[in-house]
Amino acid sequence: MRIVFAGTPEFARLALVALIEAGHTIPLVLTQPDRPAGRGLKLTPSPVKQAALDAGIPVAQPRSLRLDGKYPDEAAAAHRLLTEAAPDVMVVAAYGLILPQWTLDLPRLGCLNIHASLLPRWRGAAPIQRAIEAGDAQTGITIMQMDVGLDTGDMLDIRSVPIGPNDTAATLHDALAAVGARAIVDVVQAMADGHAPAPQPQPEAGVTYAAKLDKAEAALDWSLPAETLARRIRAFDPVPGATTRLPGLADPVKVWAAHVLAADAAGTSSGTANPGDVLAATPEGIDVATGAGVLRLTVLQKPGAKRQPVDVFVRGWSPA
């Protein structure tokens, strides 16, 4: 199979490498433009671009694919490159650009998307984080035949992945990326063998949307239940990171791990405390009252410092 690959982050890199190792021909890779990264804000290639360069595959980085959009020259150049590549199929994984109709129509077998949820649940930009935040017991990978809608295309393969009680967005991302890489190789190979999976329309029931993460969501709202906050902390690890203010500290700190205290461990003082009140600060954890229950913070990070277990963090801090 001749495959044009479009993707940007680490999630997509694993799929690209798997397709290369499976022996398919990849004449072109599309990825986002290099971005500033690190303390020096040096322009850095995306993980997908680096993998393509390592494999000797040509890379294009248009800022848009819309021929009538803000960057028509870049879109036209991408159109020429795609036409010359003559792909059987395009594989898309976390690319970051909307594919206009001409892009969907160009490959002989259309465009396939690796989506990190069990569609139609969690269509949209942040399915991994929203699944954890919502308390879902499982998520997964859907290989989808792309159309002009937002993750609305027919499904070709669905694979479930459990969400563990300690999973963060980082750990779940890695599990889903590995499953996605295996799934896309299987689907593409089946298509190459003439046994393409039968497209299954997405059910109309159960549609939810995974809104893009906003930095404004990082600040913990202590009026929420402790269980909700614990899930949100895991969902926002590593980005954007949950934050809170603690007494005696001028700047917010990031909270990377926490768990809900059982009622008998929370103590009687929590009954009259206001949400956000620090009930205790010990080497075992910083206990904070919430809208329902007590949350114990166990891994924190001050600005400019590294993540610290709470026993280290509290040595130089007191809530008094």
- DSSP of 103-167: HHHSSTT-EEEEESSSTTTTEES-HHHHHHHHT-SEEEEEEEE--SSSS-SPEEEEEEEE--TT-
Domain boundary (210, 243, 271) is at: 210
Quick check: 127 pLDDT over 90?
yes
CA distance 190 to 320: 64
pTM of this structure: 0.94
Domains held by the chain: number = 2
262 pLDDT band, cuts 50/70/90, is confident
User: What is d(CA 139, CA 254) in angstroms, rounded to the nearest whole number?
Assistant: 26
Taking the C-alpha atoms of residue 88 and residue 72, their distance in angstroms, rounded to an integer, is 25
Cβ atoms of 110 and 146 within 8 Å: the answer is yes
What pLDDT digit, counting tens, does each position of 42-93 carry?
A: 899 999 999 999 999 999 999 999 999 999 999 999 999 999 999 999 999 9
| 257, β-bridge pairs | 299
For the stretch 147-202, pLDDT in tens is: 999 999 999 999 999 999 999 999 999 999 999 999 999 999 999 999 999 999 99
CA-nearest of 226, 213, 209, 238 to 286 is: 226
Residue finishing a domain among 160, 178, 210: 210
> Domain boundary residue among 210, 230, 262?
210
The domain that holds 145 is classified in CATH as: 3.40.50.170
Same domain, 48 and 173: yes
